[in-house]
Structure 1
Amino acid sequence: MSSATERATAGFLVWRLSMKWRVAVDRAVGPLGLTHAQYALLASLYGMRRSGLRPSQRALADQTGLEPLYVSKLARALEAGGLVARTRDPEDPRAMQLSLTGQGADVTGRAITLVQGLLDQLLEPLGGQGSPRTRQFTRELAILLDAPLDPHAENEKEQS
């Protein structure tokens, strides 16, 4: 660990790790014609499909943590590229359901393989994907992701 990272805050390190991951995924899936955000949407859709789900754009936004408007924009671009099909939800005509096309499933499968290789590299210093340190790290990341963040609450305290 460098002296700069030894003095860094947890927030800075989380940001740097997320940027490192995003850049690595962008580079890995770029040759497949994808961006990191498109990969996140497709891989989530792929996983949800394997669970028998055909999610709405809103459900996919909730799953990925992306803004619903951004998911809509990504889905339209992926539809134009032949990777995703968007159809009206028969139970809610305002909602759009998403599904992978055959081409989308193929590209996503190849992208997942590439990203899993990156994950192997990233987690090697912790002992690899199945190591006790990685399992503990994963539990701690889940705790942080479950912690509520309300940027308005801090602003309201300052104004009081």
Structure 2
Amino acid sequence: MSKGSERATPGYLVWRLSTKWRVAVDRAVAPLGLTHAQYSLVASLYGMQRGGERPSQRRLADHTGLEPLYVSKLARALESAGLIERTRDPRDPRAVQLALTEQGRDVTRRAVAVVQGLLEQLLEPLGGLDSPRTRTFTSELTALLDVPLDVTDDHPQGET
């Protein structure tokens, strides 16, 4: 365990791991012209397209857990870079559908390979990507992600 992590709270450790991962992915995909957030969007879009879906921005926001307004901003930047195309949904003129361009598919395939290598490094202490410990870890992370968090203001002024 890292020095200073022995008495850390689970919330702190989740935050540190997510920060470590975001920074690593940012650095790894930067040579491909992507940020971590953009990678999350194009990799998700790539997987959805491979499954036969041409998602709306809203559907992609729901899938990634990113705010719809942020997905819209990322999509515009990725469109300007020639990696995705945004078109009006013929069934709902208010909705915008997203699709990777040929260049976007190429960049995304390369980025996925780079991030897969990072994931293998990260999971090595658990026995690798296909180990029983990694499967358990993945199951536990999924259980935590499935817990709804109700953010309410239950604390009186000045109390935390």
TM-score of the alignment, normalized to the shorter chain, above 0.5: yes
Moved over 3 A (4+): none
Offset from partner CA, 1:100-127 (integer Å, 9 cap, x none): 0000000000000000000000000000
TM-score, normalising length from structure 1?
0.96
How much has 1:158 moved relative to structure 2?
A: 3.3
For 1:2 and 1:88, the matched residues in 2 are separated by 49
How much has 1:139 moved relative to structure 2?
A: 0.1
For 1:49 and 1:70, the matched residues in 2 are separated by 20
Percent sequence identity is 74
Unpaired segments ≥5 residues, structure 2? none
SS in 1 for 2:5: helix
How much has 1:3 moved relative to structure 2?
A: 4.2
Offset from partner CA, 1:23-43 (integer Å, 9 cap, x none): 000000000000000000000
Which residue number corresponds to residue 63 of structure 1? Answer: 63
Structure 2 residue 13 is the aligned partner of structure 1 residue 13: yes
- Aligned pair count reads 156
Which residue number corresponds to residue 158 of structure 1? Answer: 155
For 2:117 and 2:146, the matched residues in 1 are separated by 27
For 1:55 and 1:138, the matched residues in 2 are separated by 26
Offset from partner CA, 1:45-82 (integer Å, 9 cap, x none): 00000100000000000000000000000000000000
Root-mean-square deviation over aligned CA pairs: 0.8
Unpaired segments ≥5 residues, structure 1? none
Which residue number corresponds to residue 134 of structure 2? Answer: 134
Which residue number corresponds to residue 92 of structure 1? Answer: 92
